[in-house]
Structure 1
């Protein structure tokens, strides 16, 4: 998929005619709600979001909360200064209207003109505007895929009546992915948000200050990030029984059954065409691991069952033990001993 396609569903680029026909014919289109797919970054949220966006009547919107890689300002005219911005009713003034427009698939022409300033890019603005207008007139809903919106999920769900899917990833898999990509995180962004620190991250305040003040080993930084996110995930799971929580490993082991269940719980229409797309993106003919660049189409096409255990090849035995010791107080809520040693056993289906 071209990198400048920030919001379109995969069906637009794989088989547009077939999905368009289903969109027109789908009687449920006006009844279902917008969807938020979130969780930690590197947890498979893009795969989950893209496969769910195959449903008739959904339009995929990619990471509007991103600081560096957000879609055009026509798609979302909100500006976020911090990674993992924490939006609540107290500070929503700068974000409410642009996010509402995105959720309603109302294209911001003034914002689009700020992004596409030259004659050469006019066609891109028209493509985005036309796509949003077409989907809005058909009654489509937005599917916002955004791990960076994780700490704002309650605000999004409450203010825009969104259904929420939270993706959980094994801590060793998360850390191994961060290690492979050599991704550093600006820890001061947490400290710059007093409400976030007070309401969500206060048990880790000393650790965050320490990591923000000096560079630590990348593995330890990734461990801390996993703990921050999944500590809050435990709170979300206790408070929001209407949200859907799914482990990446359970979807990966049996994608067809897993996505059928997700479609059912979201009130989406599952079809033979959608099953074929899921098989294409998760089947055994795909590689279990890849060095394809982040954001490319190739990186989504994995042997999902094999991908579950990639972390065992990326991490040393001592690194795995180090991760396990550091996260176990939190990871025990999601993963058993078997998930570190043998084939994982589903524990989150409900």
Structure 2
């Protein structure tokens, strides 16, 4: 009788075979990338997008917890990458992910992995919380469609502090020499941050700075968590239109379905306003420190207000 490890080994070989065969007739440009910081609402957004028929969610293929193998190629954490920096091995590996060739090495989580649905898949949806700083490279190199979402820094930092998994995020986690060389003001700000909420705010800032620093018009659709919450299906229609897709009939249901990563004690889980939780959790001093860091980084459209001061298509850095 075969044990669990033997069954898994056979399953992995079958997945590898299927992935390689499927990739021969799958264009990576059909993939959709969902880019967002951790605790920024990416799972919820991915649920909405994968309500499209025959779209299969690929869960955090560039995160070290989900896919340890990606660390062999310099991924695993938020990574700043441009066409001048990237090496051929990195490009080849990311292409394997986008074209569905890495299933067996990247299913350390069962979230949204539906093997049988792979037989009829039309497009892969790559949800990535480590890809903001390489989003311009991803779109330019692979021609993928992409949705970039940003959420209020106070809401993100509050969620990270409360979640616990970000306790390990120290200052060194946010050090990106190549990025600091390109944008010296970020390097100077990095030297100044000290408290945990400041470090997390800086981590938020550098990840969102890169996609927002690209001149308009950008080759992806930008949205905000607050707009998606407030405008609902109107904003969803704008996103699907930018992706060249009809709004699926199942999309509306996802607006009322908490993501699998929702924390039980959160406002979303409790049926309360999802935009106000940070005001109830953070002190005034913490809020001021967080906003001071993000404004110094040149991301000034979020203030003490619940929603950004600009529409999603008008967000930009103030350098």
Higher helix share: 1
Answer 1 or 2: higher relative contact order, Cα 8 Å, separation at least 6: 2
Residue among 163, 169, 173 paired with 1:185: 169
Q: Distance in 2 between matches of 1:247 and 1:265?
A: 15
Secondary structure in 2 aligned to 1:152?
Answer: helix
1:95 aligns with 2:78: no
1:348 aligns with 2:307: no
Residue among 191, 198, 205 paired with 1:227: 205
Q: Distance in 2 between matches of 1:289 and 1:175?
A: 14
User: How big is the shift at 1:145?
Assistant: 0.9
CA shift digits 1:48-71 (9 cap, x unpaired): 112101112322111111122228
**Matched residue, 2:227:** 250
Cα contact 1:35–1:144 (8 A) shared by 2: yes
Cα contact 2:27–2:99 (8 A) shared by 1: no
Q: Distance in 2 between matches of 1:302 and 1:196?
A: 39
1:37 aligns with 2:34: yes
**Matched residue, 1:56:** 53
Cα contact 2:28–2:142 (8 A) shared by 1: no
User: How big is the shift at 1:157?
Assistant: 0.7
Q: CA separation of 1:290/1:254 partners in 2, compared to 1, >3 Å: closer, same or farther? A: farther
Secondary structure in 2 aligned to 1:145?
Answer: strand
Q: Distance in 2 between matches of 1:342 and 1:88?
A: 33
Cα contact 2:76–2:130 (8 A) shared by 1: no
Secondary structure in 1 aligned to 2:33?
Answer: strand
Q: CA separation of 1:198/1:190 partners in 2, compared to 1, >3 Å: closer, same or farther? A: farther
Q: Distance in 2 between matches of 1:301 and 1:257?
A: 23
Cα contact 2:148–2:220 (8 A) shared by 1: yes
Secondary structure in 1 aligned to 2:130?
Answer: helix
Cα contact 2:152–2:308 (8 A) shared by 1: no
Q: Distance in 2 between matches of 1:226 and 1:159?
A: 24
Q: Distance in 1 between matches of 2:198 and 2:226?
A: 23
Residue among 276, 282, 305 paired with 1:315: 282
Q: Distance in 2 between matches of 1:300 and 1:247?
A: 16
Gapped runs of 5+ residues in structure 1?
1-28, 117-123, 283-287, 293-298
Q: CA separation of 1:313/1:147 partners in 2, compared to 1, >3 Å: closer, same or farther? A: same
User: How big is the shift at 1:204?
Assistant: 2.1
User: How big is the shift at 1:255?
Assistant: 2.0
**Matched residue, 2:265:** 291
* Equivalent residues in 2 for 1:1-350, closer than 5 Å: 33-70=30-67, 79-80=73-74, 83-89=77-83, 90-107=85-102, 111=105, 131-132=117-118, 134-135=119-120, 140-182=122-164, 183=166, 184-189=168-173, 191=175, 194-199=177-182, 201-209=183-191, 216-236=194-214, 238-281=215-258, 290-291=264-265, 303=271, 306-329=273-296, 330-332=298-300, 334-335=301-302, 340-341=304-305, 347-349=311-313
Cα contact 1:171–1:331 (8 A) shared by 2: no
Number of equivalent positions? 280
